[in-house]
Amino acid sequence: MSTQKHYTGLIERYRDRLPVSASTRIISLNEGNTPMIQLQNIPRLIGKDVEIYVKFEGLNPTGSFKDRGMTMAVTKAVEEGSQAIICASTGNTSAAAAAYAARAGIKAFVLIPEGKIAQGKLAQTLMYGAEIIQINGNFDKGMSLVKEIADHAPVTIVNSINPFRLDGQKTAAFEIVDDLGFAPDYHCLPVGNAGNISAYWKGYTEYAVSRVCSTRPVMCGYQAAGAAPFVAGHMIDEPETIATAIRIGHPQSWDFAWAAQKESGGWFDKFTDEQILAAQKMLSQYEGIFCEPASATSLAGALQDIGSGKIPEGSKIVCTLTGNGLKDPDTAISQCAAAHPVTIEASLDAVKRAILDCL
C-alpha cells in the first residue's frame, strides 16, 4: 500500500494485485474505500444476535460499485490505445462508463433499454457526455448487440465480460477483509449479470490464497422474482422487476457465479418487488441509509435467511449495497405516503399544530 496520505483510488491502493505496470496511466476518480456501516437498529428489531455490516457502494464517485470495474477497464482500454468504449447497461454501467471516458478523454457509447432506466442514471450519463443509443429491447438484447458490434467498429467493450472489470470489482472484498481484519461468515449480494458475485469470490479467494484471511464467506446471491435465472436454473427471456439494475435474464457471468455458489457452499434465492422495496425502506427509515431498490435485495435476502436460521445467530454478515438511492427518485417517492404533503398556512400557529399532531 502507498504511504501517501491523499487517497487516489483502488488501483493505486491495490496495484500489486492488479494488472497494471509502473508506466500505466491510471484513469481514476478516487473510487473505492467505501464505508462499512454496521447496522444497529435492524438486528435489534428482528431480535437476532447477528452482526450485519453494509458495504455502501452507493458512495462511489458515480454512485455505484460499477466505478470499481470501470477504473480498471478504462485504464486498460486507454493503455491498449482504444479511442472509444461501449457497453449495454441498465443504467449504472452507462453512468460509470460515461464518467471514466470523460476523465480519460475518450468516447463512450451506451446502449440502454427504452424507458427502463432510472432518472438519476440517465441524468448522469447525459451530463458526462456519452453517446446514448436507446434500443427498443431489454438489457439482454443490448448486451448481445454490443458483443457483435465490437467486431465491426473500433470500440472496447466495458461490460463485465471485460475481465478487467472483475479485477477492479474484486477490490471490494479486499477492502472488507482489510477493514474487519477477517472475512465475514456470509456475504449477501444482489445478482443481475452476476459479475459482482464472481468478482467478490475472486477477491476473497486471492486473499485466502495469500493468507491475508484464513476463511472465505458463504456467498448468498439474491435475485428479483421476475428476473431470477439462477433460481430457475436456466436463462429467462422476459425479465421483469422494479429493481431495474437487476432486470436481467441472461447473465453473462453464469459459470463464474455458479462456481462461487458451489465452492462457497452458498445459495441463490429470489424476492418479490414488494419485499425488495420493503427492505429498501427499512434500511432508510431504521438506519438512515438510502440505497437503490436492486441493492436492497441483499438485505431482503439476509433478513429472510437470518429469520429462518439458515444464517445462524452469532454470524458476521456483509451485505453489499450496490447503488445509491438517489439514482432512482421516482421509485422512492412513489412508495412514500408523505411524498405529497398537504400545504398549511405559513404561520407559527399552524406549524405548531402540525408538529403537536404528530407527537
Ligand X SMILES: *Cc1c(COP(=O)(O)O)cnc(C)c1O
Number of neighbours of residue 312 by Cβ within 10 angstroms: 13
CA dist., res. 133 & res. 141, Å (int)? 13
For ligand X, which residue of 228, 246, 276, 311 counts as binding (CB under 6 A)? 246
Closest separation in Å from C-beta 122 to ligand X: 14
What the block records as the C-alpha cell of 168 is 477492479
- DSSP letter string, 155-206: -EE-STTSHHHHHHHTHHHHHHHHHHSS--SEEEEE-SSSHHHHHHHHHHHH
Q: Which is nearer to ligand X, 34 or 48 (CB)?
A: 34
What is the x/- site pattern for ligand X, positions 147-176, by CB under 6 A? -------------x----------------
Which lies closer to ligand X via its Cβ, residue 330 or residue 357? 330
Q: How many of the other CB atoms lie within 10 Å of CB of 316?
A: 17
Give the length of the chain. Answer: 359
- Grid coordinates representing 340 are 405529497
Report, in Å, the least distance between residue 274 CB and ligand X. Answer: 18
Q: Is 92 annotated as a binding residue?
A: yes
Which one of 22-30, 149-157, 184-192, 226-234 is the stretch in contact with ligand X (CB under 6 A)? Answer: 184-192
Q: Does residue 219 interact with ligand X by CB under 6 A?
A: no
Residue 283 binds to ligand X (criterion: CB under 6 A): no
Choices 21-29, 136-144, 194-202, 307-315 (CB under 6 A): range interacting with ligand X: 194-202
Residue 85 makes CB contacts below 8 A (sequence gap 6+) with 73, 74, 77, 97, 101, 106, 107, 108, 109, 155, 156, 157, 158
Name the minimum Å distance from CB 262 to ligand X. Answer: 17
Tell me which amino acid residue 179 is.
Answer: D
Span of 3-11, 146-154, 292-300, 331-339 interacting with ligand X by CB under 6 A: 292-300
Answer yes or no: is 193 a known binding residue.
yes
Rule CB under 6 A: say whether 289 interacts with ligand X: no
Q: How buried is residue 356: exposed, middle or buried, by Cβ count under 10 Å (0-12/13-18/19+)?
A: exposed
Question: From the CB of 2, what's the least distance to ligand X, in Å?
Answer: 28
192 binds ligand X (CB under 6 A): yes
Residues that bind ligand X (CB under 6 A): 64, 66, 92, 160, 190-196, 245-246, 292, 294-295, 322-323
